[in-house]
Amino acid sequence: MKSRVLASCTAFRTRNRTVVLAIVASLALGCAGRTHLIRDDLTAKDVEALVDSESAQGLLLDLLAHRSIDADGDLPALREQARLRELSEEVSLDFAALSFARAMSADRMSRAVQASYHRFLRDSVAAAEQSFGRPGAFPYTVLFAPSWMYRSHPETGADFAAQRRLLDRLGIANRLIASRQDASVEDNAAAIAGAVRAAQRDGKSVVVVSASKSGAEAALALSSVLASEETSPVVAWINIVGALGGSPLADTALHPPTSWVARSVFWLRGWDWAGMTSMATEASRQRLRGARMPDSIAVVNVVAVPLSGTVGATVWFGYKVLRRHGPNDGAVLLADSVWPGGVNIVTIGPDHLFAPRDDDTHSLAMLRAIAVAIQLRRVPAPPSVPAGSEARRGIQIGIGERDLDR
């Protein structure tokens, strides 16, 4: 009897330790990995292997063919997680995720930037790099806000090392914000605010780039910690798979019995438990409730929409745990990763481990699309002007994009 009890306790501890480590991996290793980007040259047979229903197959083919999406009156609701959860139960998880992707690409500005991004993907690395050699192509200093555990696990790419090397090669000024890898969202928001204030003293125009947990930190810094006049140097915030609403995985880690093991893991590794606490969903949503981004800041949401056939092994456990909440990227819920009103660059296929370490074609295309988004956001078209006609109205895009309708 005693041996059975001991065996049961051992199994319980092992199972919960496995759950905790999987949760920590899904959260701490965010924003790094190899992108599985779905291109528009897939066959119907290829698509069948990627999704979980015939309805999802049809929707994916429509999205890859860039067919019109204007007629769907349900698009605003498809930006809400509650409706997405219902849709995943009514049809399938992939169908709900692709419906979200469609909704996020529906506005005029996002369609124009998305079209630019897909065209840039077809350019060679040499041609893309040459476009940045033109005067004024990207006249900003990029401030990178690193994500969770970026010092302990540099191999994850959460320190943006690959992106910083690329910018160095292009001659684009950039700096890594010296935030603490395991601090709370509030503490690191203060560090980001300090970096912006330093840029203001230097007279520099900056683009703030964040990913995963640092998305919540950047959002708090730019919308609440900094006074409106202090945000004047910031021309754009690039929110990559931001954990703006926290993560239900953090909620799981914060409650017994999982929290017993989670706290032990954090204590043994010397990590600050406040970082995990600040990622709880209720605390995260309360923190940004009513927050407003200054109108002078162009927000670009880089949204990863994975499918059941593209989720990587590192975040598969998190993806499976979060299925009951609806579409997710393996660490956060899709609807919680987007700042409302921003320009959206939607990538179908990648999961939360988004940033490719060895694909300069993808990184350059994304950087050029971001430049387009900043330019278009600063000179918006009137409602009567069709999407894509900005170039004909005289906007000069420094990275070589002149005709967004082509």
Domains of the chain in sequence order: 21-393 (3.40.50.1820)
* pLDDT for residue 69: 52
- CA 278, 284, 290 angle in degrees (round to 5)? 140
Distance (Å) of CA 127 to CA 111, 365, 380: 23, 11, 28
Distance CA 189, CA 51 (A): 38
How confident is the model over 330-380, as pLDDT tens digits? 999 999 999 999 999 999 999 988 754 457 888 999 999 999 999 887 764
- Please state, as a whole number, how many other Cβ atoms lie within 10 Å of the Cβ of residue 4: 8
pLDDT-based confidence at residue 71 (cuts at 50, 70, 90): very low
CA 23 to chain centre: 18
Spatial contact of 302 and 343, defined as CB atoms under 8 Å apart:
no
**What are the pLDDT digits (tens) for 183-212?**
999 999 999 999 999 999 888 899 999 999
Closest CA to 213 of 31, 357, 56: 31
Strand order across the 234-240 sheet: 174-176, 141-145, 206-211, 234-240, 298-305, 343-348
Partner residues linked to 328 by β-bridges = 333
Q: Which residue has the tokens 């998190």?
A: 318
| Rounded distance between C-alpha atoms, residue 297 and residue 228, angstroms | 10
Confidence of residue 176 (pLDDT cuts 50, 70, 90): very high
Which segments of 211-257 does DSSP mark as H helices, in order? 213-220, 248-254
- Partnered with residue 210 across adjacent β-strands are 145, 239
Nearest CA-CA partner of 250 in 275, 279, 211, 274: 279
Per-residue pLDDT tens for 128-145?
999 998 888 899 999 999
C-alpha distances (whole Å) from 41 to each of 63, 124, 252, 363 are: 12, 17, 40, 20
What are the phi and psi torsion angles at 179 (to 5°)? Answer: -85, 165
